[in-house]
Chains A and B, each alone.
Chain A
Amino acid sequence: MPVSDELLFVFMLGSLLLGAILSYVLQKKPHISILMGYSFASLASLSGIILGPTLLLSERSLEIILPWSIFGTALQFSVDPLTAFFITVISVLGLSASIFSYGYARAYIGKQNVGVLGLFYNLFILSMLALVSSSNTFMFLFFWEIMSLVSYFLVVFEHQDSRVRRAGFIYIVMTHIGTAFLIIAFLLLYKETGSYLLFSQYAGISQNLSPTMKSVIFILVTLGFGTKAGIVPLHIWLPKAHPAAPSNVSALMSGIMLKTAIYGFIRITFGVLGTGPLWWGVLILIIGAVSALLGVMYALMEHDIKRLLAYHSVENIGIILLGIGSALIFVSDGRHHLAMIGLTAGLFHTFNHAVFKGLLFLGAGAVHYATHTRDIEEMGGLLKRMPWTGFFFLIGSISISAIPPFNGFASEWMTFQSLLGLGTANLGAGINIMGPVLAAALALTGALAAACFVKAFGIMFLALPRSTKAEKAKEVPRTMLVGMGLLASLCFLFGVVPSLVIDLLSPVTASLLSVVTIQMGGYRWLAITSLIEQGTVLGATSISPVIILTVLMLSALSVYLIFNRFGKFRNTRIDETWNCGVAQTSNMEYTATSFSKPIRIMFRAILRPTRKIEKEYVLKPYFTSRIKYKGGIKPFFEDTLYRPQFKFFLKLANKFTVLQSGSIQLYLSYIFVTLVVLLIFAR
């Protein structure tokens, strides 16, 4: 029934709008406002979850023209496979975050205006859905701006805190710099291709573009979308804005708002610009590798759980770009079969990152809800107090560390394959060396991510509570657990049966590269035929998550059985940890700072750690009463890239204050002189 799909799409947008309005109107009754706001958001997300996969599986596209217009441009939405895939991504996370918000938003009752939160929350999802469904560049930019503004208001939701306002300021400045690049790129596209605005029409015409113009547009688009996605060094807003926003919003921002930039990038490069020179792909690969490595290194140094997760977003955007970059390289060579692997890996990781990062942010929100702190050094022992939250957070941690049998592994494995495919492709020695080197960088990233989450999970959930805040923590309300549980089960499901998503991606790659993903095998095997030269398969590789899971379970079971039978587990004695006779306190525990110290030393050339030790003595030099350790890392990009510019403009502005003398007569003289000069010269 083709009519019902269109209705469903309109229903999806309409219920978000209704949710926004109702939530705001009912702000005097916060409980009803929360119920209304997030119910409509959930309803819309549910329809999105139905709509996206339906369209993808039936391989149909939608064209919807609403009877309204914005600034003379008709509201025309078109849902092609790429859009349908992103609608699915947005809706999956939207549903979980909305269910989570029922409980989470209650914490704000009496402190903040929950009606406003519901209003912007709904509008935020609405703008992202409208953005990916925009049929032309004008609408795209319009909703892009709406999304930026609405997310800005969400970032500064707790505006009473001056740090939050500052974070919001940095966010809105950075995001507008990005938009500026995009506007230039779209205007160039408009100028070069005539009056056509539709994406679908651009595709045919862009063949006539000169290679230089194409490259200029490509660079602009990379910078513009890169700012939003948070590539290094344009990432500085991320670790500031994400912690400032409420957690359900940070889940959406990190999980899907960054992905709209990936959407835009794929839409323009693959959909509009088409085939480009080799260096496009190389550039994206380098950006991706640098972002991934630096992102995870900075994440390791963070002790604020939400900043830590924000840096992991930088890392994961890097991993996504590694997949897309290798796809770009293969496209430039015309090998669409191999490009398909990279693109699928990138999009699959996009989906997975939305799921597990959403889960982790919701988990961080739950912990913040229970402990009222974001500093992991103040946590500890939460697993006993919040067992379900801990369990879901653990699943998220394993997924993001790319450990089987969870979904992060599946997509990173595919990214590895596409990178290693570069090593054997016939593209010259440089690329052949680069592929494996980048694969090694990706492996390092994965290992560091695992270390980071061992730290995060261990310090947060294990051992004794490090503060009274953590001691008093209680499990969060059930709605929040359902929201997290939904995402956790998806992490597992897509980790074991990745073909569920890969099959959905088949029409996407078919529309962008005219290659389908069917050859990746069924649900048991994830097979990649990476080397096809003139129709003959030279090399193939495959992996089966189901078998990995079975082996893992069997080995765990056998270890348990063997030890139970032969080990000394039978006569265990449960007692307190022996502590050399001193009473055990949380001061003796491993801290996050000390855990990450080896890595800080290893990468000190990159991280540039600073340390300051203050000692107070009872009797110098042997009897110290107190040692104060202050460690940090140098904000390299702020110091070298942003501060000089900032200083320059401030200096320039200071020069101009001479004009502002304060004398009204002088101000009038400026007008006067201008008038007379214009009269003389412009006659």
Chain B
Amino acid sequence: MEMQNYQGLVNFLIELVLATVFLIIIARRFNNVIMAVIIQGVLLGVLCIALGWATGNYEMYIAALLTLVVKAGIIPFVLNKAVHKVAINRAVESFLSLKLMFLFAFCLVFTSYLATGQVIGNGSGLIHEALPAAISMMLIGLFLMINLKFPIMQIVGLVVIENGIFLAGIGTTHGMPLVVELGIFMDILVGVLIMGVLVFQINRSFDTIDTKNLRNLRG
């Protein structure tokens, strides 16, 4: 199959994935955040299928299936359950205002394009948008973890980082070995499951999951 023909489609899908990150930023209610996470997972799955079609690597289809099941299915489900169990107020609060967050996220995207521009040249044959978008997602994921007060949002931030890593993986290597992908899936799945349970447990023990209280641990 000729890779070049699909460049446009794949790049477009990657841009869409990046756009879902902004959806997470602007979402003010938690249900919307989970919706955005599901969309992101579905888009990543579609991207996988497209890449599998483009490269003729059939393992990609398995990866796509896993992506859909784990990232668009189980993880949002677990997150939703955790929220319903612990949260009274399901509004998402942040330290910075929405406008500032938006501006900041744009700066991060700009930075990552600036930083990786030299890594992937125009004629390198690799998917042009994948690496900058992936780096942007990792940075914004970290930014979400920092900026949002609601603790479950920290898990969402982690999921976004993880998706960024996944994007970098599939976008720059023409498909990773299946074993590696399985490992990554297990990693994030178990991570989110444990964190979901932990959040519930912490809430039961301390009646709160606000990370502000961690300050008391300071020596």
Q: Name A residues whose Cβ lies closer than 8 Å to a Cβ of B.
A: 657, 660-665, 668-669, 671-672, 675-676, 679-680, 683
Contacts and interface: CB of A to CB of B under 8 A. Distances in A.
Interface of B: 95, 108, 111-112, 114-118, 135, 139, 142-143, 145-147, 154, 211-212, 214-219
Contacts of B145: 665, 668
B115 A663 contact: no
8 closest A-B pairs by CB: A662-B218, A662-B215, A679-B115, A683-B115, A668-B146, A664-B211, A665-B146, A672-B142
A664 B117 CA distance: 32
Contact of B143 (A660, A662, A672): A672
A679 B142 contact: no
Contacts of A672: 139, 142-143, 146
Nearest to B145: A668
Contacts of B143: 672
Given A665-B95, A668-B145, A671-B142, A676 B111 contact: yes
A680 B114 contact: yes
Nearest to A682: B115
Contacts of A680: 111, 114-115
A661 B215 contact: yes
13 contacts: A660-B219, A661-B215, A661-B218, A662-B214, A662-B217, A662-B218, A663-B215, A665-B146, A672-B139, A675-B142, A676-B108, A679-B135, A683-B118
A593 B118 CA distance: 79
A665 B219 contact: no
A676 B211 contact: no
Contacts of A676: 108, 111, 139
Most buried by B among A660, A665, A671, A675: A665
A665 B211 contact: yes
Given A680-B115, A683-B114, A662 B146 contact: no
Nearest to B149: A665
Contacts of A664: 154, 211, 214
Contacts of B139: 672, 675-676, 679
B204 to A, nearest CB: 20
B2 to A, nearest CB: 32
A665 to B, nearest CB: 5
Nearest to B157: A668
A665 B95 CA distance: 10
A671 B219 CA distance: 21
Given A660-B219, A665-B145, 10 more contacts: A660-B218, A661-B215, A661-B218, A662-B217, A663-B211, A663-B214, A665-B211, A675-B142, A683-B114, A683-B118
A525 B146 CA distance: 85
Contacts of B95: 665
Nearest to B135: A679
B162 to A, nearest CB: 15
Given A680-B111, A680-B115, A683-B114, A662 B142 contact: no
A683 B216 CA distance: 39
B146 A679 contact: no
Contacts of B114: 680, 683
B142 A668 contact: yes
B119 to A, nearest CB: 8
Contacts of B147: 665
A87 to B, nearest CB: 49
Given A679-B111, A680-B114, A669 B146 contact: yes
Contacts of B212: 663
A671 B139 CA distance: 10
A672 B142 CA distance: 7
A408 B156 CA distance: 77
Nearest to B212: A663
Contacts of B112: 679
A680 B116 CA distance: 10
Nearest to A678: B115
Given A668-B145, A672-B143, A662 B108 contact: no
Contacts of B146: 665, 668-669, 672
A89 B216 CA distance: 58
Contacts of A662: 214-218
B209 to A, nearest CB: 12
B126 to A, nearest CB: 17
B36 to A, nearest CB: 21
Nearest to B118: A683
A671 B116 CA distance: 19
A660 B214 CA distance: 12
Contacts of B117: 683
A679 B119 CA distance: 12
A674 to B, nearest CB: 11
A669 B147 CA distance: 9
Contacts of A657: 219
Nearest to B116: A683
A142 B3 CA distance: 57
A668 B135 CA distance: 17
Contacts of B215: 661-663
A663 B151 CA distance: 13
B20 to A, nearest CB: 21
Nearest to A665: B146
Most buried by A among B115, B117, B139: B115
Nearest to B107: A676
Nearest to A676: B111
A668 B158 CA distance: 12
A662 B217 CA distance: 7
A660 B219 CA distance: 9
A662 B213 CA distance: 9
A683 B110 CA distance: 14
B168 to A, nearest CB: 14
A157 B95 CA distance: 53
A473 to B, nearest CB: 48
B164 to A, nearest CB: 12
B101 to A, nearest CB: 14
Nearest to A672: B142
Contacts of A668: 142, 145-146
A669 B95 CA distance: 13
A675 B138 CA distance: 10
B78 to A, nearest CB: 21
Contacts of B116: 683
Contacts of A665: 95, 145-147, 211
A66 to B, nearest CB: 42
A49 B215 CA distance: 63
B217 to A, nearest CB: 6
Nearest to A681: B115
A662 B216 CA distance: 7
B143 to A, nearest CB: 7
Contacts of A669: 146
Nearest to A663: B215
A207 to B, nearest CB: 51
A669 B214 CA distance: 16
B146 to A, nearest CB: 5
Nearest to A660: B218
A680 B107 CA distance: 12
A271 to B, nearest CB: 49
A572 to B, nearest CB: 73
Contacts of B154: 664
B105 to A, nearest CB: 12
A342 B17 CA distance: 82
Contacts of A683: 114-118
A39 B3 CA distance: 78
A662 B215 CA distance: 4
A683 to B, nearest CB: 4
